[in-house]
Amino acid sequence: MSNIGVIGAGSWGTALATVVAEKGHAVKIFDVDEKHLRSMEEHRENVDYLPGVPLSDHIQMAYTSEEALKDADVVLFSAPAQHFRSALTSAKEFIRDDALVIDVAKGIEKGTHKRMSEIAEEVMGKEFLDRYVVLSGPSHAEEVGRRLPTTVATASDNPEAAKAIQDLFITDRFRVYTTDDVTGVELGGALKNIIALGAGISDGMGFGDNAKAALMTRGLAEITRLGLKLGARPETFAGLTGTGDLIVTCTSMHSRNRRCGILMGEGMGPEEAIAKVGMVVEGMFTAEAAYELAKLAGVEMPITEAIYKVTTGEITAPEALRSLMGRSRKAEF
């Protein structure tokens, strides 16, 4: 059995810890919020972020990153995307040279416009990517924690690393596929959060299924355009980490991004909406990075641009609707 070190005690890190702990692996979870860790240790449950899911005896809390990682065969980073660089930098000296490293954050770093694997390469060196794996797909922590059937994918430049993490996580309720398209998987996971904000705004404004279907479909088209420009494969965006993740994030009330969008569509300001959701809303940060990245890449992404401008207060949601519906006539393909 493996020793797993988890960095980040949010809902998703906790849910994934329950998956591997169920298979008998030993898990140590570290988080910068010591009070939160002590609550999890006392209640044997993540009361704040994943209530109702008991923690296995195989899961223990670690109060330093060194304690969590020094014996870890596998390290899982579940910090928000905007904090991945600092989390990896802080943990760097404690990660064993032979440990596999998984990242599950879905975002693009503000300012640098870098994907998580690009940050990992910058912090750890190019050779590190041989043991770096992305895990992504349509997967709400609330459902994974309750052992509801879920399917995801692992992506790595090294096929053997992707297969090793596939073997580590796969169960009769958690199916895992593999791919080597790291760029496509990371972009699909990051950009769908922006479209989910838009789907929520649409719902909050009282629009129907037609509007949401259009947002999702045309949103996927612009995600794919940017992905192809940056070297991803088109089939990735038709798979679990593209279409699958987009569907689940745009349609479920488990989705923080959709819930935040609903509040904004109802008239609430962006900052107030984030506070109301009570957890990190990745799409609010990624919208800015994606908008700037699209400009740099010369890729037209009108939905992303409109949602970004709504999140910054530059335009209102009704103005965004008018700008999108009033665009010049085009062929679909």
71 and 176 in one domain?
Answer: yes
Is 104 contained in some domain?
A: yes
Please check whether residues 301 and 212 belong to one and the same domain: yes
330 within a domain of the structure (yes/no): no
Nearest to 156 by CA among 187, 134, 177: 134
Are 145 and 275 in a shared domain?
no
Do 265 and 314 fall within a single domain? yes
How do residues 140-181 score in pLDDT, each as one tens digit? 999 999 999 999 999 999 999 999 999 999 999 999 999 999
Same domain for 11 and 108: yes
Among residues 168, 181, 182, the alpha carbon closest in space to that of 116 is found at 182
Judge if 55 and 172 occupy the same domain: yes
Q: pTM score, two decimals?
A: 0.95
- CATH classification of the domain holding 260: 1.10.1040.10
Does some domain include residue 333? no
Residue that terminates a domain, selected from 141, 159, 180:
180
Among residues 192, 212, 295, 330, the one annotated as catalytic is 192
Same domain? For 131 and 189 the reply is no
Do 238 and 255 fall into the same domain?
Answer: yes
Q: 231 is written with which tokens? A: 């070297």
- Domain shared by 144 and 247, yes or no: no
- Residue 30 sits in the same domain as residue 171: yes
- Structural domain tally of the chain? 2
Domain residue limits at 68 = 3-180
Q: At 333, is the pLDDT very low, low, confident or very high (cuts 50, 70, 90)?
A: confident
Query: Would 331 be classed as within a structural domain?
Result: no
The pLDDT of residue 232 is 98
Q: Are 166 and 277 contained in the same domain?
A: no
Alpha-carbon torsion, ordered 310, 112, 99, 127, to 10 deg: 140
Distance CA 187, CA 181 (A): 10
28 among known catalytic residues: no
Of the three residues 180, 200, 222, the one that is the final residue of a domain is 180
Confidence of residue 66 (pLDDT cuts 50, 70, 90): very high
Task: Name the packing angle between helices 282-297 and 256-265 (round to 10°).
Answer: 90
* Gap between the Cα atoms of 184 and 241, Å rounded: 8
- Residue that is last in its domain, among 148, 180, 212: 180
| CATH number, position 33 | 3.40.50.720
Report strand pairing: 74-77 vs 132-136: unpaired
Predicted pLDDT at 278: 86
- According to the model, what pLDDT value does residue 287 have? 95
Q: Assess whether 7 and 68 both reside in one domain.
A: yes
Is 150 a domain residue?
yes
